[in-house]
Amino acid sequence: MESLDNEKKCPRCGALKMKIWRDLSDEQKFLVERLPLNTDFSREQRKKHRFCERCWFEEIGKAFKV
């Protein structure tokens, strides 16, 4: 069984915490809206993703509380 801590780690860079949409600052949301995946997902869909604030990896495979 995988621990909850591993679910919070970024799979790309290993940063210790990935953030959900509501935890991002306005500046971070601005950056996220300019990531390459922005064309693949609506803003409402992206609110269900998690983001690494170090490398801006976007985790899309799970549903997160918003």
The verdict on residue 35 lying in a domain is yes
The verdict on residue 18 lying in a domain is yes
Could you please report the per-residue DSSP string of 1-66?
---HHHHHS-TTT--S-EEEGGGS-HHHHHHHTTSGGGGTS-HHHHTTSEEETTT--EE-SS----
**Model pLDDT, residue 51:** 92
Q: How many CB atoms lie within 10 A of CB 22?
A: 10
Question: How many domains in the chain?
Answer: 1
Q: How many CB atoms lie within 10 A of CB 21?
A: 18
The verdict on residue 66 lying in a domain is no
For residue 34, name the pLDDT band (cuts at 50, 70, 90).
confident
The answer on pLDDT for 1 being more than 70 is no
The verdict on residue 44 lying in a domain is yes
User: Whole-structure pTM over 0.85, yes or no?
Assistant: no
The verdict on residue 65 lying in a domain is no
Range of the domain at 27: 4-59
Mean of the per-residue pLDDT values of the chain: 80
Q: Report the distance separating Cα 3 and Cα 66, nearest Å.
A: 21
The verdict on residue 64 lying in a domain is no
